[in-house]
Amino acid sequence: VVQIVLWYLDSGCSKHMTGDRSWLTNFVQKFLGRVKFRNDHVAKIMGYGDCKIGNVTIFRVYFMEGLGHNLFSVGQFCDSDLEVAFRQHTFFIRNLEGLKTKSWLWHHRLSHMNFGAINHLARQGLLRGLPKLKFEKDHLCSACAMAKSKKKSHKPKSEDTNQEKFYLLHMDLCGPMHVESVNRKKYILVIVDDYS
């Protein structure tokens, strides 16, 4: 037996609502008031519970006696840090926290490309695997800030201290780096000969 559960997506509805009490688990029976619909129909809110459809659970669904349709509230999802994105004949529910993480993941994967360019790639579908999302910069990338920083130039030397090659070497060891090299190395050794 296949049970088809139809939900109407309603952007004007403040809460998820159903007229079938049997779909709700963890039900709390409590009169919560009345709801007036656009067609002047009034229904009582008799309680709320959770509605499980497949492997998805919709929390806090209000039970209203006599309601002929199931109403899915866009506003209730947006209030709980979720985003509802509409496409031609369907919609997607996205977790905003996951979206921020995904934005920074793609920023790093694309060699710290700016977010405007990443959004352009996503809109045009130019990069396979890049989801069609709105990528946003919510904080400063430390690697990008360091790459854009500038250092004052040194004053020219008044006297020539360079005697011969390898007479004076400047060395610096940097690491451990956050990202390993292709050869799985985490440290960088920079050696500069003062002669050159």
> In the structure, what pLDDT confidence band is assigned to residue 98 with cuts at 50, 70 and 90?
low
- Domain boundaries of the chain, sorted by first residue: 7-79, 95-142, 160-196
Please check whether residue 102 is in contact with residue 131, taking contact to mean a CB–CB distance below 8 angstroms. yes
Please check whether residue 135 is in contact with residue 106, taking contact to mean a CB–CB distance below 8 angstroms. yes
pLDDT, tens digit (0-9, with 9 covering 90-100), for 28-76: 988 888 888 777 788 888 899 998 877 778 888 999 887 888 888 887 7
User: Which residues does residue 114 pair with via DSSP β-bridges, in sequence order?
Assistant: none
Tokens describing residue 14: 């403040």
pLDDT, tens digit (0-9, with 9 covering 90-100), for 75-92: 777 776 667 777 777 776
pTM beyond 0.75, yes or no: no
Quickly list H helices, the chain: 74-79, 96-109, 115-124, 142-148
Tokens describing residue 174: 């940097």
Q: Report the chain's mean pLDDT, rounded to a whole number.
A: 79
